[in-house]
Structure 1
Amino acid sequence: MARKKSIRKQFQSQNRSLITMLNPKSPISEQYRTIRTNIEFSTVDEEMRTIMITSSGPGEGKSTTTNNIAIVFAQQGKKVLLVDADLRKPTVHYSFRLENHVGLTNVLTKQETLINAVQATEQENLFALTCGPIPPNPAELLGSKAMDQFLTEVKNHFDIVIFDTPPVLVVTDAQVLANKTDGVVMVVSSNKTENDAALKAKELLMNAKAKLLGVVLNNKKRTESQYYYYYGQK
């Protein structure tokens, strides 16, 4: 009985994490498509090829948001790479049930090639680069010349690259990577994220010369659906 409850809980967790793939007609999935559209129209003169998603603190729905944004871009027909750049608490391999023996850290340290490290997911057009072995120096790796080379190479193989990064106020990793990508989306959680924390996170990203595209308001309850996701310009 306990095992059945555990399996059901794991399924429900995955269902929330990958709702746009498992239930693409749901109201929540439609909100993610709205976020996708807003990202595409967030700039007129520049094409969004590399997008970083972060939050102010932990537990705000950052990784769930990242997963589903990647999925809806893939459903649009674009070749998408989801990169787990949270080198401290990676989750992409759990969400998509992938191996994590080889990943981003191996590519950045030249132990493996990008093509060999990338894995296909169950979603057509969506590929994932898991974290790989957790390194002792995450911020240094993300800010290295190897990361610059990675960004150049990855755009030769994929239409859009989406990075899941740690919360801004917890470690410096997101700030280090922020100005290397074309745009940044920040996730905040309704009734959880404090205004001061969100403003401080925005300030740190702007100081890092990030191009902040907007904010996703997560976990806003509505009567017609369990959760509501809203994308607002900064």
Structure 2
Amino acid sequence: MKIEIWSDVMCPFCYIGKNNFEQALEKLPFKDQVEVEWKSFQLDPTLDANKPQTTIQYFEEKKGVPESQAKQMLAQVAQMGKGAGINFDFEKALIVNTFTAHKLLHLAKKHNKSNEMEEALFIAHFIDGKNVGDPEVLVSLAENMGIDTEEARQAVTSDEMDYEINQDILEARNNGVTGVPFFVLNGKYAVSGAQPVEVFENALQQTYKETVSPFKDLSGDSGASCDADGCSI
């Protein structure tokens, strides 16, 4: 069963949604049959990767939200994060353009490490206060994951990953996705936002039952039928 997740590195609800989704998945007997694919989305493509802002500055200058209100909002998100096992540090988090970070995610996908890289990017941004728009920061994350240094540097400083990122963004737009996180379950159902663990668990169970689980035979004893070897009564 395939789960596609549209996400942006600087979205705290994407991190919360990831943790809640993973907690739900761990409870299910078919968890080893689930393939997760992370897809790129940009909440604010107008940001400059070379001019990082604090989260408060971003809310004030870009969104027009007063500092006191911004702090209150961030405190609420931080409380939500604790419920998902995340200790957000919004005072350290740097708001930058995340397109380059998505390049690293797509490189990690080629190494079957996209889930691990998504987690590493969230930690770098929300907890360690690193500039995830800085190629050297991203190369260091790749090295820590065993990805070749020069391969990583090439990926984050060239345009070789741009097409894949833009295709993800276009696919989201064509499907009417305007916010993240956004989960598509085996191409049949969608879950929007950082839902509680129970919501993810129920959605995954329903999707598995309807799209993967073998049909339940309600007929009792086998009746007359035919197969590749012939017919029987």
Q: Normalised by the size of structure 2, how large is the TM-score? A: 0.26
Q: In proportion to residue count, which structure has more helix?
A: 2
When normalised by structure 1's length, the TM-score is 0.26
Computing the radius of gyration from Cα coordinates, the structure with the larger value is 2
